[in-house]
Amino acid sequence: MEKISFSPSKDLQSLKLQIDGFNDSFKILKIKEEGLTVSYLSKLNLLQGSPLSGQINSRTLDLQFRFQGNLQKQTSRPDGKGFILEIQFHQKARFPDVLIALELAS
């Protein structure tokens, strides 16, 4: 796993990630073309490859984005404060809609 900052940028901190079926929101650590990396306090009872869908939104950026993907990896955080999840988007476009929306909103 590549090194990931546990203190996301100001833009990422303003985003809220909600995965369908879970009440709590997830902390977004990184967004890339192929997917995103998030942090959550407890381990999810999901297998690698499990389908996930949800919503990313931000009031400050006037942004709302639905996504579909699957769980690529779930590992313990090195600092012991929860788990890191890597989610791969199903969308195969070079620049996912969420990256375009973030660029336009900032």
* CA distances in angstroms from 31 to 45, 62, 71, 73, 80, listed in the order given: 23, 18, 14, 15, 22
Q: In angstroms, rounded to a whole number, what is the distance separating the alpha carbons of residues 21 and 45? A: 12
pLDDT at 13: 78
Q: How confident is the model at residue 65 (pLDDT cuts 50, 70, 90)?
A: confident
Structural fold of domain 10-105 = Thrombin, subunit H (2.40.10)
More reliable by pLDDT, 8 or 27: 27
30-34, 35-39, 60-64, 84-88 — which is least confidently predicted? Answer: 60-64
Q: What six digits make up the tokens of 22?
A: 């879970």
What integer best gives the mean pLDDT of the chain?
82
Q: Is the CB of residue 31 less than 8 Å from the CB of residue 8?
A: no
Q: Is the pLDDT of residue 34 over 70?
A: yes
pLDDT at 99: 63
Q: In angstroms, rounded to a whole number, what is the distance separating the alpha carbons of residues 78 and 13? A: 20
Each residue's pLDDT tens digit, 77-100: 999 999 999 999 886 655 556 666
